Chains A and B, each alone.
Chain A
Amino acid sequence: MPDHTSNGMQCHEFDGLLSDALDGVLTGLQLNAFQAHARTCSACRPLFAEVEAGRNWLKDLTEVEPPASLVNNILASTTGVDSQRLRVNVSASQPRSSRLHAPWWERAQAWASEAMQPIWGTVRQPRFAMSFGMAFFALSLALSVLGVKPADLREVSLRPAAIRHTYYSTQARVVRYYENIRFVYEVESRVRELKRTVAPTEAPSGDSAPDKKDRKNDTTQQPEQKQERNYSQTGNYLILASAPLGPSVFDPLNQDPLNPDLPVVSVTTYRRFV
């Protein structure tokens, strides 16, 4: 819009007052200046006419009637109580005296359903239904992985003695499992010690290269026992154990004091390279 002054009013001022003028809230000098500008300004005069015409056209637009099902659809999608509400309204429309004469369990049931209605309405929402579905799926998956079958649960006795028995048997199973694990570790460590003791005497010293090769092909991913690298066998010594002088305790028939029948002890020593 070209912004020029006409009758003391600029075009942008005219634009700002246009809505107020059409609403009929302009008075006094402001109204006079506005009307004078509208008469004389070649840019603002058609604008005023168009805005007024547009507003009149819009008056032809009447309010449309929403579909009859809209409210029910909204209630169903938000609280899910469309049909429940109708049922509750029907029960509420019954005479109070007839409800009082009903048996106590029916009254309790009616009271419970009325109390649970908001909760049930919330729970029935699609997002909650989806969450429950996912939770059920996860639970059933976990149970199947753990080997729990629903058919087994039917046979579970809920008597206190049976529950106690189940508790103790489960506890015993856990302890046995633990003990078995400990036993396996003990056996393993013994075997390892045995190997450590036997292997150096059996393996020739020049077989280090095949050893390395074997280790390369080893796919067990067991760590090497590096501690053993610092040890080397220095030799086997046969030593004679000394025994106190006197009659031999080993051979009572041997009476030679210079050639006593001494026990022979084999000692293997290891030396650590630092």
Chain B
Amino acid sequence: MLVRRCVAGDAAAWEEIVQNYNRRIYNICYRFAGSSDDAQDLTQEVFIKMYRTLSSYDSSKGAFITWVTTITRNLLVDHFRKTKQDRITDSLDAASSAHEDAQPLSEQIQDQSAPPDARVRSREVGETVHAALAKLSPELREAVILRDLQDFDYREIATVLKVPEGTVKSRINRGRAELARLLQRTYRQVM
């Protein structure tokens, strides 16, 4: 087992773990934090924490991926709390800012000319959904990310989020519905 080899001091095993899980963790961080820079920093933090606490992993308590995702989620929540004040300041500045990122979602779409092909359109839709996802509350966002983007089952999500399965399902439903409402509003403004 990789973890056991890694705890025994096998550097190659640790490298294998990093190779296997960096993509998944980076994607969770990117979808939750919203920016590539933050996602990169957070992914590194996750692996540093994982490296330090690897010996505490108990395979009888759950799958390794669940343990890794729990670490990721806890760090994301910490990061969210730490940057809360910054976001409040940013949102206050957003109205007067001339930066492209500060524009409302509908304006961002309006400003763009008709996409030349389906690939570009698909990328733009992806960016729009990503921006809408960032507007969800963190509780709904993490549940939706784990279910719809990372394909975790409800029990695993319940373990990671430390809430009952019923709560997980309810959060996923509310997150999806909220996302749809945001996007419908956005596209209605564009049309």
Contacts and interface: CB of A to CB of B under 8 A. Distances in A.
B43 A70 contact: yes
A121 B11 contact: yes
Contacts, number: 115
A118 interface: yes
Which bucket holds chain A's interface residue count? 35 or more
Contact of B176 (A16, A50, A66): A50
A78 B176 contact: no
Contacts of B148: 55, 58-59
A75 B36 contact: no
A50 B166 contact: no
Contact of B51 (A52, A66, A67, A78): A78
B19 A54 contact: no
A62 B124 CA distance: 12
Interface residues of B, number: 45
Given A66-B26, A71-B19, A75-B15, A57 B180 contact: yes
Contacts of A241: none
B184 A53 contact: yes
A57 B183 contact: yes
Nearest to B15: A75
B179 interface: yes
A78 B177 contact: no
Interface in A31-81: 47, 50-55, 57-67, 70-71, 73-75, 77-79, 81
A77 B47 CA distance: 9
Interface string B1-32: 00000000101001100110011001100110
Given A74-B18, A85-B15, A121-B11, A60 B47 contact: no
Contacts of A78: 14, 18, 47-48, 51
Nearest to A82: B15
A20 to B, nearest CB: 8
Interface string B151-191: 00010000000000010011011011111110110000000
Given A53-B184, A70-B22, A75-B15, A18 B169 contact: yes
A117 interface: yes
A81 B30 contact: no
B176 A74 contact: no
Contact of B172 (A19, A62, A67, A118): A19
A85 B16 CA distance: 13
B44 interface: yes
Contacts of A77: 44, 47-48
B180 A54 contact: yes
Interface string A1-21: 000000000000001101110
A79 B44 CA distance: 12
Given A61-B130, A74-B43, A75-B15, A67 B36 contact: yes
Interface of A: 15-16, 18-20, 47, 50-55, 57-67, 70-71, 73-75, 77-79, 81, 85, 117-118, 121
Counting from the closest, the 3 A-B pairs by CB-CB distance are: A54-B176, A54-B180, A50-B177
Given A53-B183, A65-B23, A74-B43, 12 more contacts: A47-B177, A55-B148, A57-B132, A60-B129, A61-B31, A66-B27, A71-B18, A74-B18, A74-B47, A78-B14, A78-B47, A118-B9
